[in-house]
Amino acid sequence: MRAAARPALAAIWRRIEELAEQRGKDPAEVLAVERLSCLSGVEPGRIRGVVAGTVRELPLDQRVHRRFLRLRATRRDKHGREWPLAAIADDFGAPGASLGPLNAGTGLPRLGHAAGVQRFFGVYAGFLLADSKSAVERALALTSASAPDRGDDMEHLSYLTGMTPHAIRLTLDGSPPRLSLKEQVHQRFEHLRRTRLREDGQPHALAAIAKSFDASGQSLTRLAQREGLPNLAAAAGIQRFYGVEGGFLLAEDAEALAAVLSGIERELESAEREAENPMLAVMRGHDVRSIVTRAGRLSPQGWKSLADHLDDLLAREGQLGLPGTNGGAPAEGRPAEGGTP
């Protein structure tokens, strides 16, 4: 959504305050800046300025660098330490040194590396790229959202997500198609060109798209021809040009669809009707019964390995300290169970 078309964040903020009071919750706790910062990657000191529209947007290289540092600071390993660069990079088959410039703020990562970092920490695909207003808007949406309604028109969902109707049906059935990142980015880019046309009904020229972020049309030729990935700045520029959120090109199908369905639900104000228990939706979506059945065949050592692996996953997503886990106390920037929504 183009920045000019987005609803005012201050209005969303006030609406959430009212909803919190109606539900007997403390608005200050629901809208705690540390929590919103953890969800959005925007530094705590900038949150209120972004909501009020009084702070300037950071250049892309500074934004990506600071978001990466926020990830490392707020999503630590199970021992409470920052994840080493080597461990993060190894998760997507790269050397730790490849993340050195990103960590030091001296350069942008490759698009595949940015996608890998976001997958490693379990954040949405636009976390590193999204402009501050979009990032805070998404965090506010997560603060007030409940279970999504899955019954909307397939063509409309396809337009919003960049997925084909067939891929949407597969994803809703729990078996999303698996594409390489290069193929996915190409398909999403072609979807944008096909569905967001000029006033004369023709696709925007590559040169016009590239000019919007001070590049040449040739810089997008390889992407259009399925021969390569754009760099991170070009990916951010394409998404800005078409007015889609910062993760449009990178989001996996399930994530893209979940984000769109949540937005549709909020627009329909479905919070007033009884929503499905979100835990049941999670259990169905991840086939929990099958997982438990298979785990029942593990040896005692296998159970220990599984528990250690779960701790690692919870730690990297900043949830190891939540109630019901070994830590017992809320992780930084995350609400306690039964607390804020």
Distance CA 258, CA 44 (A): 26
Q: Does residue 141 have a pLDDT over 70?
A: yes
Q: Are 71 and 117 in contact (CB under 8 A)?
A: yes
Query: Worst-scoring range by mean pLDDT, 49-58, 66-75, 196-205, 324-333?
Result: 324-333
Tokens representing 109 are 């990562």
Average pLDDT over residues 237-245: 89
Average pLDDT over residues 191-215: 91
Distance CA 108, CA 202 (A): 33
pLDDT digits over 150-202, tens only?
344 788 888 888 888 888 888 888 788 888 889 999 999 999 999 999 888 89
| Residue 337: per-residue pLDDT | 37
Report which of residues 176 and 206 the model is more confident about: 206
- The identity of residue 287, as a single letter, is D
Query: Worst-scoring range by mean pLDDT, 1-15, 19-33, 168-182, 259-273?
Result: 259-273
Q: How many residues does the chain have?
A: 341
pLDDT digits over 269-326, tens only?
444 444 445 555 555 555 555 566 566 566 667 777 777 777 777 777 666 654 444 4
Q: Which residues contact 326 (CB under 8 A, 6 or more apart)?
A: 78, 311, 320
DSSP string, 294-325: HHTT--HHHHHHHHHHHHHHHHHTT-TTSTTS
Exposed, middle or buried, 35 (CB in 10 Å: 0-12/13-18/19+)?
A: buried
b/e 91-105 (16+ beta carbons within 10 angstroms → b): ebebeeebbeebeee
How many other C-beta atoms lie within 10 A of the C-beta of residue 271? 16
Distance CA 212, CA 214 (A): 6
Distance CA 341, CA 301 (A): 37
pLDDT digits over 242-256, tens only?
988 888 898 888 888
Report which of residues 77 and 84 the model is more confident about: 84
Helix runs in the chain, H state only: 9-22, 27-30, 33-40, 44-52, 60-74, 85-90, 100-104, 111-121, 132-144, 154-161, 165-172, 181-195, 206-211, 221-224, 232-242, 253-267, 278-285, 288-295, 300-316
| Residue 91: per-residue pLDDT | 93
- The identity of residue 258, as a single letter, is A
- The identity of residue 10, as a single letter, is A
Q: Are 179 and 226 in contact (CB under 8 A)?
A: no
Q: Please, what is the average pLDDT of the chain?
A: 79
Q: Which residues contact 58 (CB under 8 A, 6 or more apart)?
A: 66, 132
Report which of residues 294 and 83 the model is more confident about: 83
Q: Are 41 and 74 in contact (CB under 8 A)?
A: no
| Residue 93: per-residue pLDDT | 93
pLDDT-derived band at 266 (thresholds 50, 70, 90) equals low
